[in-house]
Amino acid sequence: MSLLIRNALVYDGSGAAPMKADVAVEGGAIVGVGPDLPVRADEVRDAGGLALAPGFIDVHTHDDAVALEADGLHPKLSQGVTTVVTGNCGISLAPSPMAGREAPPPPLDLIGEAAAYRFPRFVDFLDALRAFTPGCNVVPLVGHHVLRARAMADLARPAADHEIEAMRADLAEALAAGAAGLSTGLAYPPARHATTDEIAALAADVAAAGRIWTTHMRDERLGVVSSVAETLDVARRSGVRTLISHHKCCGEAAFGLSATTLAMIETARKTMPIDLDLYPYTASSTVLIETFARDSRKVTVSWSDPHPEMAGRDLAEICAEWGVDQNEAIGRLRPGGAIYHQMDDGDLERILAYPPTLVGSDGLPRDKRPHPRLWGAFPRVLGHYARDKGVISLQTAIAKMTGQTAKTLHLADRGRIAPGCKADLVLFDPAAIHDAADYDHPVRPAEGIAGVWVNGVLAWAEGAPTDAPRAGQVLAA
């Protein structure tokens, strides 16, 4: 099956200015790029001058479980995403942490309930993904919370040496199976008591395997500067390639600190491989935690197991209705999640404009009333922040979602439109593309996206999935 896309405005993912060209695809790979290609193809499509970019790589997802569902990656395909990095923030579906537990400890419940954690080893998860064929390509990380929960019954203390050895053994299994790296989430209860030494020991194994460490840092509030210092310390001691996840400054007292953190990162990058990503919103979202709610302008419940009827409701209203304070309400709503309005657009724009910053969604596909980033993150960067606000150029925005990301993840044949690269492609109208999902309508597909190809297969077209078979691959390291 061959495909020729004619008359496209090609953004090749390198950050270079676009050029009018044709793109020829054969056997799932790009075989030619250039003006007026003299190529015959089974299918010829006239792009009508629309923008053609490499399929977007969502560098920060929690799509582990939904990658195993038929329509689970539709929120991503609808935005032009063709590759998702799973297992972020310390949370991965494998290896299972359920021995001796009835429910996965929060935040592991963000991606699934007990039954979802059914893979004894990391390789079992990858085998299941391969047998299923996900809708997008999957780059799988293994999460520190599950390693810790397997090694320790009580997570509220530092790990002993033999427990760190148990985590290292599981980590070794995951890396051998093809995990792209390790994620940690030191802000969350299961890892809050993990020492810097514990993380550095695991990071050294990741470095030895040539993989990457992604980190949801210990503190993204007033302590964000010391968190970046801790991150750089781990990177220095272990030599690991490091990706700071969803960089942000939460709570009014922390506004503006990104000037300091980016300066630290810039200095560190002179001698170490440090990258970072962000999602383009001034509200965060995760499980319900008292400290996260504390300095938010507004908190909206995104899901609640005991009170499903409260999804979409304002926490302050619930408190008034129940006649209780915030902490009591959170206790009653848990297990549950929330959207926390607590960042400043100035920090967001500064971080987005910083050249090394990549784009991720951090979408939470299991939430009843999800944060709109699940359906809107990529079109929001292209439409709102690049085209409308001019924070970065369109070709820079695309590079932050494609070529730069592939480089950080060591994906040699993704993220570029060039002969030899896989045919992950997105065709869109640069004048029309925009996110339609917002806090009131969180699950609306973006507009302006004409077609999305995964490994040469048209998976999404004109606002809907196609009936082509799923074509994602597991991009094991």
What are the residues binding Zn ion (CB under 5 A)?
A: 89, 216
Taking the least distance from each CB to Zn ion, the nearer of 216 and 422 is 216
The Cα–Cα gap between 433 and 352 comes to: 19
| Cβ at position 62, least distance to Cu ion in Å | 6
- Structure token digits, residue 106: 């929060």
Handedness of CA 136, 19, 379, 259 (dihedral sign): positive
220 binds Cu ion (CB under 5 A): no
Residue closer to Zn ion (CB basis): 89 or 177: 89
CA separation for the pair 151, 156 (Å, rounded):
13
Residue 86: name its binding partner from Zn ion, Cu ion, none (Cβ under 5 to 8 Å by kind). Answer: none
- 275 vs 362, beta carbon nearer Cu ion: 362
Question: 368: alpha, beta or left, given left = phi > 0 and alpha = psi -120 to 50?
Answer: alpha
- The owner of tokens 């993150």 is 377
Q: Nearer to Zn ion by C-beta: 373 or 422?
A: 373
Which two tokens mark 373?
């980033």
Task: State which residue, 39 or 89, has the beta carbon closest to Zn ion.
Answer: 89
34 and 21 Cβ atoms separated by less than 8 Å: yes
The Cα 330–Cα 77 span in angstroms is 34
Nearer to Zn ion, 89 or 139 (CB): 89
Regarding 88 and contact with Cu ion (CB under 5 A), the answer is: yes
Residue closer to Cu ion, measured from CB, 88 or 405 = 88
How many other C-beta atoms are found inside a 10 Å radius of the C-beta of residue 298? 14
User: Contact region for Cu ion (CB under 5 A) — 80-88, 93-101, 260-268, 270-278?
Assistant: 80-88
Dist CA 216 CA 185 (whole Å): 5
Q: Are strands 274-278 and 241-244 parallel, antiparallel or unpaired?
A: parallel
Query: Is residue 44 within 8 Å of residue 60, measured between CB atoms?
Result: no
Kindly identify the residues of this chain, within the stretch 12-51, that bind Cu ion according to CB under 5 A: none
Give the residue at shortest CB distance from Cu ion: 89
Torsional sign, CA 15, 16, 20, 24: negative
**Could you tell which of Cu ion, Zn ion, none binds residue 435, using a CB distance below 5 to 8 A set by kind?**
none
Q: Smallest distance from the beta carbon of 218 to Cu ion, in angstroms? A: 14
Q: How far is the CB of 362 from Cu ion (least distance, A)?
A: 4
Find residue 341's DSSP bridge partners. Answer: 283, 298
Q: Are 145 and 190 in contact (CB under 8 A)?
A: yes
**CB of residue 89 to Cu ion, shortest distance in Å:** 4
Cis peptide bond prior to 97, omega within 30° of 0? no
Nearest residue to 174 via CA among 213, 206, 151, 128: 206
Q: Return the SS3 of 359.
A: strand
Q: At its nearest, how many Å lie between Cu ion and the CB of residue 5?
A: 34
Q: How far is the CB of 357 from Zn ion (least distance, A)?
A: 16
Site residues (CB under 5 A) for Cu ion, limited to 336-375:
362
The minimum distance between CB 284 and Zn ion, in angstroms, equals: 8
Sole window of 73-81, 85-93, 175-183, 291-299 interacting with Cu ion (rule: CB under 5 A): 85-93
| Residue 475 interface partner, choices Zn ion, Cu ion, none, CB cut-off 5-8 Å depending on type | none
Residues 6+ apart with CB under 8 A from 370: 285, 302, 363, 364, 442, 443
What's the closest the beta carbon of residue 107 comes to Cu ion, in angstroms?
9
Kindly tell me which of 89 and 98 has the beta carbon lying closer to Zn ion.
Answer: 89
Say how far apart CA 11 and CA 19 lie, in whole Å. 7
Query: Which of 399-418 are b and which e, b meaning 16 or more Cβ less than 10 Å from the residue's Cβ?
Result: bbbbbbbbbbbbbeebbbbb
Q: Which residue lies nearer to Cu ion by CB, 89 or 289?
A: 89
Smaller CB separation from Cu ion, 220 or 362: 362
Q: Nearest approach, Cβ of 287 to Cu ion (angstroms)?
A: 11
Q: Which does 391 bind (CB under 5 to 8 A by kind): Zn ion, Cu ion, none?
A: none
Residue 89 touches Cu ion, criterion: CB under 5 A: yes
Residue 455 partner contact from Zn ion, Cu ion, none using kind-dependent CB cut-offs of 5 to 8 Å: none
Q: Which contiguous run of DSSP H or E holds residue 449? A: strand 449-454
Tell me how many residues contact Cu ion (CB under 5 A).
3
Residue closer to Zn ion, measured from CB, 119 or 292: 292
Yes or no: say if 399 and 13 are a contact pair by the CB < 8 Å rule: yes
For residue 187, the minimal CB distance to Zn ion (Å) is 7
Least distance between Cu ion and beta carbon 219 (Å): 15
304 binds, among Cu ion, Zn ion, none (CB under 5 to 8 A by kind): none
Task: Supply angle C-alpha 282, 341, 192, rounded to 5.
Answer: 95
Backbone angles phi, psi at 129, to 5 degrees: -60, -45
Partner that binds at residue 394, options Cu ion, Zn ion, none, CB closer than 5 to 8 Å by kind: none
**Which chain residues interact with Cu ion by CB under 5 A?**
88-89, 362
